[in-house]
């Protein structure tokens, strides 16, 4: 795996990810997705939706609001409990998560410590920045982004940007039941922005204040929750290893100890990835029990439960949740698939993305400028065949053009040459094997479909 600084530089140079607000000197930990990064991010979302929603029985889409009634966050526990323990160094003014500092100092069961206990532990440590031992007390810092509402109504004065997309699903449970009447078990998935006022954002796009989540809430009978937990564990493993082709040696499960579970969960597995900076959480699988539906039933005027059509049993469904950050996934995918190969004593970058993720699927290259017009006609024809994103590349030697496409992960380059005019054939070059095959123009689409991996 390449080093983090090489990956960051590569992603900027090739037009995937730029520092946010770049021309104004940037904004710490904010990133913009360039022409290739925007497509890659979108391809990840589409592939997740296909795998976890469209190809599953009884799983539905949702697109709920980012700004919700504050009562949602009171009921969900986010206003009271969604916080990190914060501590400042009084000497250098550096701010830290107290639990992170203690974990780095090998303290055990840190997440179970009270604020007083955390403060006691911190007071024994030196500041990693200035080496002084001059700390504030540890205090809770709520991670939700608070905004003020323009409406003059005290109750609506404080509103928040959602810190997870999941609550949008829970508060629409009744709407979904009343309108499309799904039979249990069923799932609701959604993709959307989430915001957290992280105390220590960082490690490139790993932890940011604004990110996209891919979340699936699967509602089932409480007795079946373990079965569906196992099912989604298997689906996640398969998605990571078979669909995204991430190496098994870079993935491990961390079974979150009972004492460290989030307030809504009775069982959580964090799937960790070996990022260039070390092992860290890539995504989570949790048994959220009936916590969310019950708490929203208590706080709203609605009973969020179901009645079994046969046994007439009345119950609150359990929820199995898979939750992934798109940016973390993108970071893992690029770290896994970006390689350096040596050809003729020369180092070359190659991004060996699965076909479904590649930002550009096909590049059309006229062998020389003289046949550019004819090659462009082929390009226009293929654009209409919906095989995926296609670009036209001219100028420079064909070898150089191949290498440039390898660098950005384009699986196929089609070369139109002088013979193409007569024999109506082109040469298709495959990124990973470098194999070149002569293919009839009419059979290009079938060839790509058969060889896309
Ligand atoms: N609904 C459950 C939930 O939000 P979480 O463990 O807090 O659980 C789920 O977050 C996933 O969202 C994480 O595994 C990670 O992939 C992503 N994520 C969370 N905070 C993030 C941040 N600040 N920046 C980028 N991704 C983040």
**C-beta 290 within 6 A of ligand 1:** no
CATH class name, domain 83-142: alpha beta
Q: In whole angstroms, what is the distance from residue 36 CA to residue 318 CA? A: 40
* Percent of the chain surpassing pLDDT 90: 91
In the chain, CATH 3.30.930.10 sits at: 4-80+144-334
The finding on whether 8 has its CB within 6 A of some atom of ligand 1 is: no
The predicted structure's pLDDT at residue 172:
98
- For residue 274, the CA-to-ligand 1 centroid distance in Å is 17
328 lines ligand 1 (CB under 6 A): yes
Residue to mutate, 78, 282, 325, ligand 1, most ligand atoms under 8 Å from C-beta: 325
At 385 the pLDDT is 83
To test the ligand 1 pocket, which listed residue (211, 265, 269) has its Cβ within 8 A of the most ligand atoms? 211
> What pLDDT does residue 157 have?
66
If you ran DSSP here, which 8-state letter would residue 360 be given? -
CA–centroid distance, 281 to ligand 1, in Å, is: 9
Give the distance (Å) from ligand 1 centre to CA of residue 239: 18
User: Boundaries of CATH 3.40.50.800 in the chain?
Assistant: 360-451
Cβ of 62 below 6 Å from ligand 1: no
- Hey, what CATH topology would domain 360-451 get? Rossmann fold (3.40.50)
Give the per-residue pLDDT at 378. 95
Nearest CA to ligand 1 atom 27: 325
Query: Start-end ranges of CATH 3.30.40.230 in the chain?
Result: 83-142
CB distance 292 to ligand 1 below 6 Å: no
* The pLDDT of residue 196 is above 90: yes
- Whether ligand 1 lies within 6 angstroms of the CB of 165 is answered as no
CA dihedral 201, 206, 210, 213 (to 10 degrees): -140
d(CA 418, CA 316): 69
Protein residue closest via CA to atom 12 of ligand 1: 325
Residue 294 Cα to ligand 1 midpoint, Å, equals: 23
Using a 6 Å cutoff on CB, does residue 284 contact ligand 1? yes
CA distance 244 to 221: 31
pLDDT exceeds 70 at position 152: no
Which region among 76-80, 93-97, 153-157, 166-170 has the lowest average model confidence (pLDDT)? 153-157
Q: Mean pLDDT over all residues of the chain?
A: 95
CATH number, span 4-80+144-334? 3.30.930.10
Give tens-digit pLDDT for 113-148. 999 999 999 999 999 999 999 999 999 999 999 988
Q: Check residue 85 and give its pLDDT.
A: 94
In ligand 1, which atom is closest to the CA atom of 284? Answer: 14
Average pLDDT over residues 297-305: 94
CA–CA dist 9, 50 (Å, integer): 31
Which of 328, 330, 331, 333 has most ligand 1 atoms within 8 Å of CB, for mutation?
328
Please report which confidence band the pLDDT of residue 112 belongs to, taking 50, 70 and 90 as the band edges.
confident
Do the beta carbons of residue 98 and residue 85 sit within 8 Å? yes
pLDDT in tens, 342-363: 888 889 999 999 999 999 999 9
Quick check: CB of 44 below 6 Å from ligand 1?
no
């Amino acid at each position: 795996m390449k080093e983090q600084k090489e990956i960051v530089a590569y992603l900027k140079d090739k037009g995937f990810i730029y520092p946010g607000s770049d021309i104004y000197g940037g904004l710490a930990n904010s990133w913009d997705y360039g022409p290739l990064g925007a497509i890659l991010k979108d391809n990840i979302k589409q592939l997740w939706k296909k795998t976890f929603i469209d190809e599953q029985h009884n799983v539905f889409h949702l697109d709920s609001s980012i700004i919700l009634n504050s009562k949602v966050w009171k009921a969900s526990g986010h206003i009271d409990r969604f916080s990190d323990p914060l501590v400042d160094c009084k000497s250098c003014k550096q701010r830290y998560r107290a639990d992170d500092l203690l974990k780095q100092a090998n303290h055990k069961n840190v997440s179970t410590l009270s604020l007083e206990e955390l403060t006691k532990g911190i007071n024994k440590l030196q500041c990693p920045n200035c080496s002084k031992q001059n700390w504030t007390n540890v205090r809770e810092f709520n991670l939700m982004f608070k905004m003020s509402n323009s409406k003059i109504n005290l109750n609506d004065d404080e509103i928040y940007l959602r810190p997870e997309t999941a609550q949008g699903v829970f508060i629409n449970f009744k709407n979904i039941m009343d309108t499309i009447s799904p039979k249990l078990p069923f799932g609701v998935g959604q993709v959307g922005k989430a915001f957290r006022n992280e105390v220590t954002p960082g490690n490139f796009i790993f932890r940011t204040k604004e990110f996209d989540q891919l979340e699936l809430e699967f509602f089932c009978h409480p007795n079946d929750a373990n079965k569906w937990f196992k099912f989604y564990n298997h689906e996640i493993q398969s998605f990571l290893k078979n669909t995204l082709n991430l190496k098994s040696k870079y993935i491990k499960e961390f079974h979150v100890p009972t004492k460290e579970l989030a307030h809504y969960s009775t069982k959580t597995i964090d799937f960790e990835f070996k990022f260039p900076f070390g092992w860290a959480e890539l995504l989570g699988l949790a048994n959220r029990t009936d916590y969310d539906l019950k708490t929203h039933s208590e706080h709203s005027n609605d009973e969020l439960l179901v009645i079994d059509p046969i046994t007439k049993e009345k119950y609150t469904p359990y929820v199995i949740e898979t939750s992934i950050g798109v940016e973390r996934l993108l970071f893992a995918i690029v770290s896994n698939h970006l390689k350096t190969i040596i050809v003729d004593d020369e180092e070359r970058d190659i991004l060996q993305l699965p076909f479904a993720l590649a930002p550009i699927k096909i590049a059309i290259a006229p062998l020389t400028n003289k046949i550019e017009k004819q090659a462009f006609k082929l390009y226009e024809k293929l654009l209409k065949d919906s095989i995926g994103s296609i670009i036209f590349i001219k100028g420079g030697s064909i070898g150089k053009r191949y290498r440039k496409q390898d660098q950005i992960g384009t699986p196929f380059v089609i070369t139109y040459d002088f013979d193409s005019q007569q024999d109506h054939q082109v040469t298709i070059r495959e990124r990973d094997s470098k194999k070149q095959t002569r293919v009839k123009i009419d059979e290009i689409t079938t060839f790509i479909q058969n060889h896309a991996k």
